[in-house]
Amino acid sequence: MYDATIIVLESIVQEGSSNSIHGEASGCLIVMKSFEFIFILYLMHKIMGITDLLCRALQQKSLEILNAMDLVSITKTLLQTLRNARFDLLLTNVQSVCTKYEIDIPYINASYKKLQVVHVNNKVQ
């Protein structure tokens, strides 16, 4: 699906009927070809897959409270497993997609330093 979307957006950028359509397609293409977009896409796919069973079960009227509590516990454990053990696999999948589409991959192990912005008043006298 991602392939088809990229192809359609690239053709719209090349053959857009108006400047606004051309600009919107170009903007979408820039966003969709970013590491952040691919990462969030894969992460949401995993999370939705894990929580789907719980969501379906909670919509049933005949669900007992003990079964619901068990499903919540299982879902919580699966999400924790994704966070602890499967994050590297998720990151590997994201990096392979980024490599396939020639998307820049940030250096994940880089140290984070918060930038401090200093505002200066420029008053004309």
- Residue with tokens 């051309």, as numbered in its chain: 22
What are the angstrom distances between the C-alpha of 72 and each of 37, 77, 84, 91?
28, 9, 18, 26
Q: Is the pLDDT of residue 119 over 80?
A: no
Q: Is the pLDDT of residue 125 over 60?
A: no
Domain ranges of the chain: 1-33, 34-103
Q: Are 47 and 79 in contact (CB under 8 A)?
A: yes
Q: What value does the mean pLDDT of the chain take?
A: 86
Give percent of the chain with pLDDT exceeding 90: 42
Which residues make Cβ contacts (< 8 Å) with residue 114, sequence separation at least 6?
none
- Residue with tokens 């200093």, as numbered in its chain: 118
Q: How far apart are CA 47 and CA 22, in angstroms?
A: 33
The pTM (predicted TM-score) of the whole model is 0.74
Q: What is the pLDDT of residue 122?
A: 59
